[in-house]
Amino acid sequence: MKTTQFSSSSSSDRRIGALLRHLTAGSDSDHLSSVYASPTSGVTGGSVFAHLVQAPEDPILGVTVAYNKDPSPVKLNLGVGAYRTEEGKPLVLNVVRKAEQQLINDRTRIKEYLPIVGLVEFNKLSAKLILGADSPAIRENRITTVECLSGTGSLRVGGEFLAKHYHQKTIYITQPTWGNHPKIFTLAGLTVKTYRYYDPATRGLNFKGLLEDLGAAPAGSIVLLHACAHNPTGVDPTIQQWEQIRQLMRSKGLMPFFDSAYQGFASGSLDTDAKPIRMFVADGGECLVAQSYAKNMGLYGERVGALSIVCKSADVAGRVESQLKLVIRPMYSSPPIHGASIVAVILRDKNLFNEWTLELKAMADRIISMRKQLFEALRTRGTPGDWSHIIKQIGMFTFTGLNPAQVSFMTKEYHIYMTSDGRISMAGLSSKTVPHLADAIHAVVTKAV
C-alpha cells in the first residue's frame, strides 16, 4: 500500500517536472502560470485547507488560553495541573537549579543525539525510583525502560507498542479519566472502553462497579490504572482494594498499564505512592508503567518521562526494547537530553535526592493546606452541601461536583478558570485566593444556576 502511494506520487512528480521543462523551453509564461495555478498547488486561488473547520481548544490547556486573555486583576487559573507558590508563581525547584548549574559547569558535556532509548543512566534511575531499588524485576534484569516525552509521550509509545505487538487491542480506562487518555490510545491504534471508577453520589470510589467491569472485560484486555492521585477525581483505592484489583486482574490475565504522573504528590512520599505498582511487580507478572517528571520535579516544559515494561525474563525484555526502538525512531527519533540529564543528576546524588524529597513534600503539604483552608472557608460561609470531599480527595485536584453551568458562571462572574467538569487544581490556589474561590462557590450553589 505504502509503496504504491509513494511510486504513484513520485511518478506524477516526474510528469509535472517533464511538463514544466517542456513549457519553460517554449518560454510560454501563460502556460507556466496555469501549471502553478493547478488546484493542488495552493499558490494562487483558494487555499487547499479552506475546508477546515476551526478546532475547539483543548479542554484542559484551553482553560489557560482563555485565562491569559482575561484582563481582570482578580482572575484565577485553577485549570491545568501545574504547581504554583503561595504567591501564585510557577516554581523551579532548588534542586533543579543546582542540577542545571552542575550541568552548565561541566564543560565536557556535549549536545550529541541521545540513543533512541534516551539517556541510559536516567532510564536505570527512573526504573529504580518507581519500582524500588530492591525490585525483583530490576535485579533479574527483566525490565526495559526508555526515556520518552514526559508522561504523555510514554503513554503514547506504550500504546503503539501494545497495538503492534500485544494480542488484545482493547484498553479499559477509568470513567472519568484525564481527558487526553482516550485520544492517546485511540491514535495509538487501540480500542478504548471504560470501567466504572467514581461514584458521584458518594464522591468516592465505585469499587463494586470497578470489580464488576474488570471482571467482565475479555481476558487479556489492557487496563489503564492511575498509580496514585487519580485525575480528575482525587479518589484512590486503598491498599486492600488495590490487592483485590491485582488478584482479579492477574486471575483474568488483564494487562496493567500504570500511568504515574503524580508520584510523591498524593502522600508526599515517593515510596508510598509507588506501592500499587510495586504490588503488581512483586507477583512476577508483566506490566507497563508510564512515568512523568512534570509535576514531581516541576519539569513540565522539559518533557521528561519514562516508559518501563516489566517482562518475565531478561531475554524477552531485550526483544521488547528492540521493538520499542522501532516505534520511537519514526515518531521523534530520540528524546531530548536536557531534562533527562537534570533528573539523572538529582537521582544519582544522595544529597540532592534528599533535598528533592523535602521540596516535593513541601509542595504536597501546601496542597493539603489549601484543601483545609478551602473547606474551612466554605464552612464559615455556611455554604450548603457536604464539602468534606475537598479534604478527603488526594493529589493535585478536587473534583468539586460543580456542573458545567456553575463553572461557566464562576468564570464569567468571578474570573475563576477551571475545567468544565468541575475539577479544580488545588496547586493553583493560595491563602490569598481561597476567599475569592469560596465566595464564588458559595454564590453559585446558593443561586441555583
Q: Which three cell numbers stand for residue 320?
A: 521488547
CB atoms within 10 A of CB 55: 6
CB 109 within 8 A of CB 103: yes
Instruction: Please give the Cα distance from 299 to 150 (Å, whole number).
Output: 9
Least gap, CB of 431 to ligand KET (angstroms): 22
Using the contact rule CB under 6 A, the part of the chain among 48-56, 148-156, 207-215, 357-365 near ligand KET is 148-156
Told to judge if 421 belongs to the known catalytic residues of this protein, a careful annotator would answer no
CA distances from 347 to 129, 252, 306, 357 (A): 8, 36, 14, 10
Q: Please tell me which residue in 213, 236, 242, 259 is annotated as part of the active site.
A: 259
- Binding segment for ligand KET (CB under 6 A), chosen from 133-141, 149-157, 268-276, 341-349, is 149-157
Site string for ligand KET, 413-442 (x = CB under 6 A): ------------------------------
User: Which of 81, 264 has the CB closer to ligand KET?
Assistant: 81
Q: How many residues bind ligand KET (CB under 6 A)?
A: 16
Longest dimension (CA), the chain: 87
Does 80 bind ligand KET (CB under 6 A)? Our answer is yes
Which of 77, 135, 144, 152 touches ligand KET (CB under 6 A)? Answer: 152
Instruction: Specify the stretch interacting with ligand KET by CB under 6 A; choose among 144-152, 273-281, 331-339, 431-439.
Output: 144-152
How far is CA 178 from each of CA 15, 78, 292, 391, rounded to the nearest angstrom?
A: 49, 15, 14, 21
Q: Which of 135, 145, 150, 221 binds ligand KET (CB under 6 A)?
A: 150
CB of 80 to ligand KET, least distance (A): 4
User: At 271, is the secondary structure helix, strand, or coil?
Assistant: helix
Is 372 considered catalytic here?
Answer: no
259 is catalytic: yes
Query: Which residues, in sequence order, are CB contacts of 56 under 8 Å at separation 6+?
Result: 62
Residue tagged 517482562 (cell numbers): 311
CA distance to 149, 157, 161, 229, per residue, from 330 (Å): 14, 11, 13, 33
| Interface mask toward ligand KET for 252-291; x: CB under 6 A | -------x-x------------------------------
- Distance between CA 239 and CA 417 in Å, rounded? 34
Regarding 339 and contact with ligand KET (CB under 6 A), the answer is no
3-state secondary structure 320-389: HHHHHHHHHHHHHCCCCCHHHHHHHHHHHCHHHHHHHHHHHHHHHHHHHHHHHHHHHHHHHHCCCCCCCH
81 touches ligand KET (CB under 6 A): yes
Residue 294 as a binder of ligand KET (CB under 6 A): the answer is yes
400 forms part of the interface with ligand KET (CB under 6 A)? no
Whether the CA torsion 258, 260, 266, 270 is positive or negative: it is positive
Give the DSSP letter string of 152-166: HHHHHHHHHHHHHH-
Binding mask 193-232 for ligand KET (x = CB under 6 A): ---------------------------------x----x-
What is the spatial distance between Cα 106 and Cα 210, in angstroms, rounded to a whole number? Answer: 51
Q: Is 242 in the site for ligand KET (CB under 6 A)?
A: no
CA–CA dist 118, 335 (Å, integer): 6
- 348 alpha-carbon distance from chain centroid: 25
Active site residue: 98, 242, 295, 387, which one? 295
Stretch that binds ligand KET, among 188-196, 292-300, 352-360, 382-390 (CB under 6 A): 292-300
User: Which residue's CB is nearer to ligand KET, number 17 or number 301?
Assistant: 301
Q: How far is the CB of 279 from ligand KET (least distance, A)?
A: 19
- Using the minimum distance from each CB to ligand KET, give the nearer residue, 261 or 328: 261
Q: For residue 192, state whether it binds ligand KET (rule: CB under 6 A).
A: no
Applying CB under 6 A, among 132, 176, 268, 305 the residue interacting with ligand KET is: 305
Provide, rounded to whole angstroms, the least separation between the CB of residue 152 and ligand KET: 3
Interacting residues toward ligand KET by CB under 6 A: 60, 80-81, 150-152, 178, 180, 226, 231, 259, 261, 292, 294, 300, 305
Q: Which residues are catalytic?
A: 178, 259, 295
